[in-house]
Amino acid sequence: MSEGESVMVGMRIRPFNDREKKLGAQLCVDVDGATTLLQNPPDVAAESGKGAELKKFTFDASFWSHDGFEEDESGYCRATPGSKYADQRLVFETFGKKVLDNAWEGYHCCLFAYGQTGAGKSYSMVGYGKNKGIVPVSCEEIFIRIAANPDPALSFEVMVSMVEIYNEAVQDLLVPSASRPKKGLDIRESQQLGIYIDGVKKRAVNSYPSIEAVMEEGTENRTVGSTLMNATSSRAHTVITIEFKQVSTLAGGASGEKVSMINLVDLAGSEKAGQTGASGDRLKEGCAINKSLSALGNVIEKLADKATGKNKNIVIPYRDSKLTRLLQNALGGSSKTIMICAISPASSNYEETLSTLRYADRAKRIKNSATINENPQDKLIRQLREENLQLRNMIGVDPGSPGGGGGETDAAALEALSEKQKEIAALESMLQEMQRSFTDKISEAQASANSAAQQKKEKNADLSMPHISNLNEDDLLTNKLRFPFKEGSTRIGRPSEGEGCPEVALSGPGIHPQHATVVNAAGGCVISAVGDGAATTFVNGAALEGKAEGVQLVHGDRVAFGQCYFMFVDPAVGMATDLLESGKVSYAMARKEHGAGEGPSEEELKATREMSEELERKVKVAEEASQRAKSEAEEHLKKREQEFQEQLQKRQEDWEREHQQKAEAAASDERAHDERAAAEQAQRHAEELARLQREFEDRQRNAEAAAAKRIQELEAAAKKAVAEEEDHRQHELAMQRLEEELMNVMPLVKEANLIAQELKRSERLETKMHCELNGGKRGSVRVMAAVMRDGVRLFEWSPETLENRVFLLREILQRCEEEGFEVADQMADEDDPLWDPIMVERLIGVSQVLLEGLLLQVENAFDTRILSSEGHQAGMLRVEVVPLSYEGTPGVPDSEIVDEPEDLLGARLGCMIHVVRASDLPENLANDVRVEYHYFVDEKPHEVPMVLGHNENPIFNYSKKFVQDPVTSRFLEYLQTKLVFRVYGKDSSADALNKSVNAAAAAATAPPPGRQVPEPITLPSATSLQSGSLESGSIEAVSPSLMSPSGLPGAIGDAGSPAAAAGPGPPGGPTDQGDVLAAHPSLAAVRRQAEEALNSPAGAAPVAIGAQGGKSKSCCIL
């Protein structure tokens, strides 16, 4: 390999999915050879002002898999003649084959897939059905090449491992979930072995069926773990490592080896990764749900900067996450690396697609220097022994003695000693593993495979009985867990000491030790639950609460225990695969049923669709009528013109005939003709022709005017119908998005409540729908989660915040199950997922005022309803909108009044907004009432002064004048909208609760009686220290405890000092050491900071430290 070879990057575009088709998504992606083209969708084009800008990204390959394919009789998707469709085989030939070629040459290789959830990563990596992805095809190809090896002196050894990284824990997927260490495996580094996973199980394989069985075992264990731990598969990274060893027997009996580590990585979904408004280039991981992706983006950015020469001495933060640590060689070391990015072509996913393209564009700048890994095994074993001996010497342990002589009592030294001992144990384990022959490894793997096959056979035998099979959002993990119901009673619940293990063992929020029971008798299965389990057991979305007799299960029923979803399968009726393939059962269906009860009903959605179809029909009829009227008008004009021409021709012929007759009669009678009579006749004829011409023109003008009027009416009706149809189409799309958001939020709310109940917390969450009025024709609806305590609303969360907090709650619950529930009781506020500053001030409601009176230059006084976010009336607001004269006085004189609004263009227009009073406000919110509103293009809202105290009918008497000079067309459009006033007040219940909480916190942090608080002393400020001057004006007052260098404001404290060991104390509260900034914020604090950035506009200032009793979610990393 040439030095500094770049990472290869490919882009793949998938077809539209069902959701995108329903939302009417437009195609915004195309490919031209190796270049991927991204078109601005209409909404982005309008906002940016750049129009339909075309962005181009060139990679090593761009695969068009959106359309142009057909399924053959086996189900394989192949390209139709003449199309540019890239099938699975083409993707493997382009990238997968390169991986194997590099492995055969002895290079380490890595291939990883990146993209948002649902973009097609797993399809490219694993595939479905006959459309096998890169992983299975590569595994099959390895043994095809091995079988074709002609050299008897060359043998091959293949070892496979499979791990998953979820929530920064590395789990071995070849080990059952019950046998794994709770905190996962450690990633270590050795001078000889490089970076490796300590304790990972490697399985020797000698054929494609054996490696396929290992993959199946890993997938099944992954399903068990994700189901029992309620983990989300789209948040986990799966790493398959194939250790490919070529052993050459040399002359004289010596042997040589070439070892290649092939890492095949399916990354978690990146839909939460977006650009920060501050830097524009750095990726942030939404809500910090997946720290690994955030760290990976940071590593790729810094490697790209290093490769392009921006910063040659930059430190690459590989240790920021387990994923980047594991992929260190692949990203910036001695490995040949390929990255496949999957993107959605839909305009609705434009931002995520653009983010992925920019991510990949940076990755292709990374350069690696791979080397062939060709070392004799004896030399490697000797080097490992030497490294092991060095480690023992470092910690003062004699190889022949059982103990060491360090005698250190310092915590840091003890921790370092423990870490070195773990490294020694790991190296000794690696030595023992390397000294075993491959034959022994194959025998062990075969025994393990036979045991697994026997267990699988026994399980499959049980599947002849009625059973439940798991449902997972990842199709690859669906139908992997099956629990049979034998004759008699089967218990379902959480394993607990003293009560025995239930036949169906589950865990997670909402699962109780005695959760439910299924009785299989008389050819049917009846599920029943009592107590707490009844409220969290659902069949087809209906809870078993109040159904003591139970529910008869039917083939295809969806059953939910807490947050675990299953389908009931009756083998006498059909198989689970039939239910899934036919679409009768799916994870989305089960989750939708589980969250049913809120949101638009099927009848409402059906009525909306029927209304949309009716409007489409009206539009079509109006267009047809318009076309028909146009053709009828044209036909009528042609007919009238033809009639006139015929009449004119007839008159002309009659006159000529009469004239000829008279001429002939006069010629026969006398030669002398009365020329004057002929002239008179000619004049009469000309006058008649002129009269006919005028009549025709009048009739033609009248017909044209009538036709034009009719066409105008029809066109106006058609435009109105089109506008109504578009409005209702947008409404239908909004309803679909609302339904989708509700189906996402409501299960999370239920899960949060279940976890809070298990943690014995008093907080409860409720799903709320907020109506947003923005001054336009139609408002919008947002879904929020309100956090309540004893009926008092504490605060509200957006769906993004809710998802993050549920993730944190899962972590807390898992820690409580491992370490005891004291963990939850000892949490600081910033580490508590259910803590936020209490939202004392709340939005009472929104009121709208029409501005059209300003177009007519008349004064308007409004008594408008204040509508709460739930859509209920919450009072009245008196507002007056008064136009101003040119001198700025109220009222417009007659001389300044214009006839048409367009006449105001270029002129000067002033108005006065007078907010008089509010009335009938809710009693609990009518405290310190204030109003704010936005006028035209002003960025900051205008504030109406607060009326202090409790007042249900506050009087504001607020007036403010606005002048627009000159009036523009945009301002005239604004005057056709509404002015929106937002009324706020303090919740008396929340205010009382907040005061009691703050009082309790102050009492807890108060110094003991009799303790003297040291007086502050002066210390030079940073400015004076830099300038070298110590003038009296540059002295700042600080606590005496900050005299040490580590105590300087903003400095990093000494980790070994007593102050640092004691911790920062309560957040925002006084400590013995003074208010020292923490050098290392907690993971929860970092997550909250990312969560806040996600929910705030780009570039927004961070929350000030000290808000809400000194507590804040903002933090600084020093």
Cβ neighbors of 52 (< 8 A, separation 6 or more) are 39, 40, 42, 45
SS3 label, residue 528: strand
Q: Which two tokens stand for residue 866?
A: 């204040």
Q: Is the pLDDT of residue 423 over 80?
A: no
- If pLDDT is split at 50, 70 and 90, which confidence band does 52 have? low
Q: Is the pLDDT of residue 1077 over 90?
A: no
pLDDT score recorded for residue 815: 81
Q: Greater confidence, 594 or 16?
A: 16
pLDDT score recorded for residue 430: 59
- Closest to 920 in 3D by CA, of 1003, 995, 985: 985
Q: Which helix (H) or strand (E) holds 706?
A: helix 675-758
- If pLDDT is split at 50, 70 and 90, which confidence band does 248 have? confident
Per-residue pLDDT, averaged over 1082-1100, amounts to 53
- Closest to 946 in 3D by CA, of 914, 991, 984, 920: 984
Assess contact for 297 and 283: CB atoms under 8 A: yes
Assess contact for 531 and 514: CB atoms under 8 A: yes
SS3 label, residue 909: strand
Per-residue pLDDT, averaged over 167-191, amounts to 82
Per-residue pLDDT, averaged over 1012-1034, amounts to 42
Percent of the chain having pLDDT more than 70?
Answer: 70
Residue with tokens 């010497």: 393
Q: Greater confidence, 53 or 807?
A: 807
Q: Is the pLDDT of residue 1043 over 50?
A: no
Q: Greater confidence, 1114 or 52?
A: 52
Q: For 625-642, what is each residue's pLDDT tens digit? A: 656 666 766 676 677 677
Q: For 641-698, what is each residue's pLDDT tens digit? A: 777 777 777 777 777 777 777 767 666 665 555 666 777 777 887 887 788 788 878 8
Torsions phi, psi for 943 (to 5 deg)? -100, 130
Strands (E) across 68-207 are located at 69-71, 77-79, 109-114, 127-128, 131-132, 154-166, 169-172, 187-190, 194-197, 203-205
- If pLDDT is split at 50, 70 and 90, which confidence band does 603 have? low
Q: For 750-806, what is each residue's pLDDT tens digit? A: 889 988 988 889 999 998 888 776 655 566 788 899 999 988 999 999 888 888 888
Per-residue pLDDT, averaged over 64-90, amounts to 91
Per-residue pLDDT, averaged over 519-548, amounts to 87
SS3 label, residue 711: helix
- How is 276-322 classified by DSSP, letter by letter? -TTTSS-EEEGGGS-HHHHHHHHHHHHHHHHHTTS-TTPPP-GGGSH
- Closest to 1066 in 3D by CA, of 1013, 1025, 1005, 1116: 1005
- If pLDDT is split at 50, 70 and 90, which confidence band does 1047 have? very low
Cβ neighbors of 684 (< 8 A, separation 6 or more) are none
Q: For 141-164, what is each residue's pLDDT tens digit? A: 999 999 998 888 888 889 999 998
| Helix boundaries (H) for 321-463 | 322-326, 328-332, 350-363, 377-394, 411-435, 438-462
- If pLDDT is split at 50, 70 and 90, which confidence band does 555 have? very high
SS3 label, residue 36: strand
Q: Greater confidence, 1077 or 480?
A: 480
pLDDT score recorded for residue 625: 63
Mean pLDDT score of the chain: 76
- How is 355-381 classified by DSSP, letter by letter? HHHHHHHHHTT-EE-----B--HHHHH
Q: For 904-913, what is each residue's pLDDT tens digit? A: 888 889 999 9
The amino acid at 76:
Y
Q: Is the pLDDT of residue 1108 over 50?
A: no
Q: Is the pLDDT of residue 948 over 90?
A: yes
Q: Is the pLDDT of residue 843 over 90?
A: yes
Per-residue pLDDT, averaged over 894-903, amounts to 83
Q: Is the pLDDT of residue 1079 over 60?
A: no
Q: Is the pLDDT of residue 1026 over 80?
A: no
Torsions phi, psi for 288 (to 5 deg)? 55, 25
Query: 10 Å Cβ neighbour count for 1103?
Result: 16
Question: 866 vs 150, 771, 848, 849, 958, CA distance in Å?
Answer: 85, 12, 8, 11, 18
Distance CA 751, CA 518 (A): 24
Q: Is the pLDDT of residue 833 over 50?
A: yes
pLDDT score recorded for residue 685: 78
Per-residue pLDDT, averaged over 1102-1112, amounts to 34
Distance CA 935, CA 927 (A): 25
Q: Is the pLDDT of residue 1 over 90?
A: no
Q: Which two tokens stand for residue 196?
A: 């490796």
pLDDT score recorded for residue 526: 93
Q: Greater confidence, 825 or 388?
A: 825
Per-residue pLDDT, averaged over 13-38, amounts to 86
Q: Is the pLDDT of residue 972 over 70?
A: yes
- Closest to 16 in 3D by CA, of 279, 281, 325, 353: 353
Q: Is the pLDDT of residue 369 over 60?
A: yes
Q: Which two tokens stand for residue 1017?
A: 């002393």
Q: Which two tokens stand for residue 25?
A: 């998504």
Q: Which two tokens stand for residue 99?
A: 């991986």
Distance CA 378, CA 32 (A): 52
- If pLDDT is split at 50, 70 and 90, which confidence band does 1035 have? very low
- If pLDDT is split at 50, 70 and 90, which confidence band does 427 have? low
pLDDT score recorded for residue 137: 92
pLDDT score recorded for residue 3: 55
Q: Is the pLDDT of residue 1064 over 70?
A: no
Q: For 859-880, what is each residue's pLDDT tens digit? A: 888 999 998 888 788 999 999 9
Query: 10 Å Cβ neighbour count for 1016?
Result: 13
Highest mean pLDDT, choosing among 4-8, 203-207, 439-443, 1088-1092: 203-207
Q: Which two tokens stand for residue 793?
A: 């609303």
pLDDT score recorded for residue 717: 77
pLDDT score recorded for residue 917: 95
Distance CA 807, CA 232 (A): 10
pLDDT score recorded for residue 901: 83
- If pLDDT is split at 50, 70 and 90, which confidence band does 187 have? confident
Per-residue pLDDT, averaged over 1066-1095, amounts to 46
Assess contact for 109 and 262: CB atoms under 8 A: yes
Per-residue pLDDT, averaged over 545-550, amounts to 84
Q: Is the pLDDT of residue 14 over 80?
A: yes
The amino acid at 306:
K
pLDDT score recorded for residue 880: 93
Distance CA 319, CA 340 (A): 24
- If pLDDT is split at 50, 70 and 90, which confidence band does 30 have? very high
- How is 956-969 classified by DSSP, letter by letter? EEEEEEEEESS--H
- β-pairing, 131-132 vs 873-884, is unpaired
Distance CA 394, CA 404 (A): 11
Per-residue pLDDT, averaged over 36-60, amounts to 75
The amino acid at 770:
H
- β-pairing, 524-528 vs 551-552, is antiparallel
